[in-house]
Amino acid sequence: MKERKLRIGVLTLPLAKASQIPLSNLVEILFNISTEFVLITGNEGYKQFKNECRFKVYDVSYKIGNPFLKVIRNLSGQIIASFIIIKNRKIIKHWIFFGGEREIISIITAKLLKKNVIILILGSVIRDYTIAKDPFTIIIKILSTLKNALADKLIVYTPRLISEWHLEPYSHKILIASQNFLDFNTFTITIPLINRPHLIGYIGRFSAEKGVQNFVQALPAIFREQKEIKVLIGGDGQLKESVETSIKDSGLTDYVELSCWISHDELPLHLNQLRLLVLPSYTEGLPNIMLEAMACGTPVLATPVGAIPDVIIDGKTGFIMKDNSPECIAENVIRALDCPDLARIAENGRNSVRENYSFEKTVGRWKQIFNNI
C-alpha cells in the first residue's frame, strides 16, 4: 500500500469530547496506510493532537456560542480550513471530511483543486437536528444534499444504512468501512459478569437523539420489578440539567448515580461494573461504546438503528428492543436481566467483537477502500 503513495488529509471542524475516539481511530488507520498525512481540526480534536509530531496538524478552533454566532464562526473556520487545503494542494490528493455538512466551503475548495473528496458519514445529521427541533434543520438538509452530490465517494458503516439514511441516489459512489477498532488489552474482562453488582447503566451524550430521557422515564417501572437494581448514568451534554431534574422529580436520587463525562481511560473500569448497558438511541452510526462494552463482557440492550443490528443479534450477542419508548425500554431491561443465558450471550458478544474489530482487520478494510478510489 505504501507504494501507491497515498497522500491523505482529514478535515473536521471543532469537535466535542464524544467525537475524540472516532477521530483518533480514523487518524491512526489513515496514518498507517499513507505516505503523507495532514489533519485539520479544532477544539477537543486539536487539544488531542496539538503535540503530534508524526504529521502536520492545523488548528481551526472557535468558541461555540449562540446559534447565530456559531454560524459566523463556522463560516470563518471553513475559510481558514480552505486556505490550509490550498496551502497543501501539492501534498494531499485525498481529503476525507467528517460528516461534511459543516464543511461545504472547504469541500468546494477541494473540488476546485481537483482533489478526491471523500465524506465519512458518521450518522444521520438530518434526523439528529429534526429530533432536537433545531431551527437550522432545513439548512442542514440542504447542505447534506449538496455535500453528498459533491463527494467523489461516501463511506458508511454498513449497507443497511444506505436505505436508513436515504442515500439510495448516491449508491453508485458508496463504499463500506468503519473506523472502529479496540485495544483488547484495555477493553477486557476484569470482573466476571456473575460477580458484578446489580448495576445497569447508560453512558453517552445527553442529547435528544440518544434517548437518554426515555431511559430515565423507564426507571420507575424497572425498579418495581428489579428491587436490587442500581443505575449509572454517565455523560454530558445539553440535556444534563433536564436529566438531573427528571431523576429528582421521580424520587430516584438514592438509586441513580449521575456521573459527569467519563474519560476513555476510565471506561473499562465502569463497564466492568455493569450487568447491562442500555443504548436507547433514536439514531446511530456504529456506537463505539457498544463495542467497548461487549469487549468487557457487558451485555448491551439497544434499539435497531444504524449499524447496531449488524453487531447485536437478539438473544445471541446482545439484546434488541423494538423502540425506545419508556415502556419498551423497561420491558426489555427486565427481559435481559432475567435471561438465564445472560453470561453466554455476553461471551458471544465479546467473541464477535474480538473477531471483527481488531486494528489489523480495520486497517485491511480501509486499504480495500483506497483500492476502489
* Domains of the chain listed by start with CATH number: 2-181+358-371 (3.40.50.2000), 193-356 (3.40.50.2000)
Among positive and negative, which fits the CA dihedral 144, 146, 147, 153?
Answer: positive
Taking the alpha carbons at both ends of the chain, their separation in whole angstroms is 13
pLDDT of the residue at 128: 52
List the alpha helices (DSSP H) in the chain. Answer: 20-33, 44-49, 67-87, 104-112, 125-131, 137-150, 160-164, 212-225, 240-249, 267-271, 288-295, 308-311, 326-337, 342-356, 359-371
Whole-angstrom Cα distance, residue 21 to residue 162? 24
Q: How is residue 325 written as a grid cell?
A: 419508548
pLDDT of the residue at 282: 94
Whole-angstrom Cα distance, residue 114 to residue 108? 10
Radius of gyration for the alpha carbons in the chain, expressed in angstroms and rounded: 21
Q: Which of 180, 178, 121, 179 is nearest to 153 (CA)?
A: 121
Type of residue at 9? G
Q: How is residue 124 written as a grid cell?
A: 444521520
Q: Which of 46, 61, 141, 42 is nearest to 101 (CA)?
A: 141
pLDDT of the residue at 1: 38
pLDDT values of the chain reduced to their tens digit, one per residue, 373 residues: 344 579 999 999 877 777 888 899 999 999 999 999 999 999 989 999 999 999 999 999 988 766 677 788 889 999 999 999 999 999 999 999 987 778 999 999 999 999 999 999 886 555 555 555 666 678 778 888 899 999 999 999 999 999 988 899 999 999 999 999 999 999 999 999 999 999 999 999 999 999 999 999 999 999 999 989 999 999 988 899 999 999 999 899 999 999 888 999 999 999 999 999 999 999 998 999 999 999 999 999 999 999 999 999 999 999 999 999 999 999 999 999 999 999 999 999 999 999 999 999 999 999 999 987 8
The torsion angles phi and psi of 284, rounded to 5 degrees, stand at -150, 165
Q: Which of 87, 140, 95, 133 is nearest to 114 (CA)?
A: 95
Whole-angstrom Cα distance, residue 163 to residue 300? 25
Type of residue at 330? A
The C-alpha cell 490550509 sits at 84
Q: How is residue 156 written as a grid cell?
A: 458508511
What's the Cα-to-Cα distance from 247 to each of 3, 161, 215, 219, 280, rounded to whole Å?
Answer: 57, 34, 11, 9, 17
Whole-angstrom Cα distance, residue 27 to residue 39? 8
- Cα atoms found within 13 Å of the Cα of residue 136, Cβ hemisphere only: 12
Query: pTM for this one?
Result: 0.90
Residue-wise burial string across 183-218, b where 16 or more C-beta atoms lie within 10 A, e elsewhere: eeeebbbebebeeeeebbbbbbbbbbbbbbbbbbbb
Q: Are 212 and 242 in contact (CB under 8 A)?
A: no
pLDDT of the residue at 134: 60
3-state SS assignment for residue 172: helix
Q: Which of 269, 280, 292 is nearest to 323 (CA)?
A: 280
Whole-angstrom Cα distance, residue 189 to residue 294? 10
Whole-angstrom Cα distance, residue 122 to residue 98? 7
pLDDT of the residue at 132: 54
Type of residue at 26? L
